[in-house]
A and B are shown apart, each in its own frame.
Chain A
């Protein structure tokens, strides 16, 4: 069974750094892209970017390029999303999801989400 398990909720202050994780199991982690999706409170889904754990090839949405870093450690089947300096506007639910096909980038399996709260 394919599963994506994300790290727990975080409460941080503006300016702090953060790295959240997404551990995949039940499939070949290095053979599928994994992506990150932001959902701000009461808002819609925003595609942030994806990574191919096999070779760490990465693509970012222009809206998030330079704002976050997506990485992966294939030895432990885990993808990461990190910030070097959080802002209050980073407060959101963040989902990781497996890309079922590199052809259409559909997300076929999703993590449970990680709530990030940034407040002074």
Chain B
């Protein structure tokens, strides 16, 4: 099972919006609406931000939103804040009944 493809890095200024893509295949992202996104700050455990493509767990800011088109899912962060600077990982359920992660995208808030 190959890792999902994410850009290595994205950046944006405070207040702006950014989008991170996550490309898989018709056996994972394209077939199931089971894409999740995780935020990881340096030295910390990951935190679930989005699940089932576009759902936010309780307590996660509504500045975070998710979507999917075909084999590509996206995470959008609006109104960028300094605290959003982190590495973001997507994941998807697969036809093998396991999970696969993306390679991670480092978000820099300029």
Contacts and interface: CB of A to CB of B under 8 A. Distances in A.
Which of under 10, 10 to 19, 20 to 34, or 35 or more describes the interface residues of A?
20 to 34
Interface string A82-120: 000000000000010100110111111011110000000
Interface of B: 1, 3, 32, 34, 36, 38, 40, 45-48, 51-52, 57, 87, 89, 91, 93, 96-104
Given A95-B46, A106-B51, A113-B45, A46 B101 contact: yes
Given A61-B1, A104-B52, A106-B51, A45 B46 contact: yes
A2 to B, nearest CB: 12
A59 B93 CA distance: 13
Contact of B93 (A97, A105, A111): A105
A9 to B, nearest CB: 13
A105 B48 contact: no
Interface of A: 35, 37, 44-47, 49-50, 59-63, 95, 97, 100-101, 103-108, 110-113
Contact of B98 (A45, A61, A103, A106): A61
Contacts of B104: 44-45
B34 A104 contact: yes
27 contacts: A37-B46, A37-B101, A44-B3, A44-B87, A44-B89, A44-B103, A45-B46, A45-B89, A47-B91, A47-B101, A50-B98, A62-B1, A95-B45, A97-B45, A101-B51, A103-B93, A105-B91, A105-B93, A105-B99, A106-B34, A106-B36, A106-B52, A107-B38, A107-B48, A108-B48, A110-B46, A110-B47
